[in-house]
Amino acid sequence: MYGLEGRRAIVTGAAYGIGKGIASRLAAEGCDVGLFDLDLAAAERVAVELSGSGRRVAVAAGDVSSKTDVEAGIGRLLAELGGGADILVNNAGICRIGKLLEMSESDWRATFGINVDGLFYASRMVVPGMVERRSGAVINLASWMGKSGAEAYGAYCASKFAVVALTQTLALEVGEHGVRVNAVAPGLVVQTKMRDESEERRRREGLPLAEERAKAIPLRRAAVPEDIAKAVAFLASDEAAYITGETLSVTGGVWND
């Protein structure tokens, strides 16, 4: 365990998959947790599951690509958690598959709206309070595709490259105030809505599925949400007190730096 008892965390995209895994791990570590997700009913189900942890759990619904939704929803979470947050996990994300010359403008804009604008809006709501208290940790969810381009994933890759750049930039801007900003770059992760949607598209197009692709990973398996949650908990903890501006690859040994 990483000694996070009594800290307050906000997780975006917390109703499913990686976000749910992160919220569950932080609650288990002793954090009070604010869940922000577009799917209110699913987020409330997660809150019920976490209620047995003995920690305070708050829920707010909204679209991270909407400044209005983020200001209202995260503002409510901050109030319910006692006026601030010690940990912010910008997890909400989508993956729209399509070659760049064929992708619709709506898919392109939706990808950046959620994966990039969402990080921007949530950070501007939470990080000023961290700066004022001179303490805090931000963990952004990037991707192994944020380090290397991939055919038919151009929008997703570009958005996750942006996450890495924003992580580095914000770390430089707030480091002197005691706030650390890092990213986690997952590789192939199963048991998520994003993976299920991607697998269906790959199946239709006759592309290799996760089970086959995992054979090329040095650890010979895909990640599950708990693998990513462990990395997030570490970066949120004092064990990572001298780590900022970094992007930690959690890929089972696939190197693409």
Q: What is the CATH number of the domain that holds 133?
A: 3.40.50.720
Residue 252 lies in a domain: no
Per-residue pLDDT of the chain (257 residues; tens, 9 = 90+): 899 999 999 999 999 999 999 999 999 999 999 999 999 999 999 999 999 889 999 999 999 999 999 999 999 999 999 999 999 999 999 999 899 999 999 999 999 999 999 999 999 999 999 999 999 999 999 999 999 999 989 999 999 999 999 999 999 999 999 999 999 999 999 999 888 888 787 888 788 888 989 999 999 999 999 999 999 999 999 999 999 999 999 999 997 66
Residue 95 lies in a domain: yes
Residue 215 near residue 209, CB atoms below 8 Å: no
Residue 61 lies in a domain: yes
- The number of angstroms, rounded, from the C-alpha of 122 to the middle of its chain's C-alpha atoms is 12
Residue 192 lies in a domain: no
Residue 161 lies in a domain: yes
Residue 79 is part of which domain span? Answer: 8-187+224-247
Residue 93 lies in a domain: yes
Residue 108 lies in a domain: yes
Number of domains in the chain: 1
Phi, psi of 65 (to 5 degrees): -80, -5
Tell me if residue 2 is catalytic. Answer: no
Q: Which two tokens stand for residue 175?
A: 């480091």
Q: Please pick, among 2, 16, 121, 156, the residue that the annotation labels catalytic.
A: 156
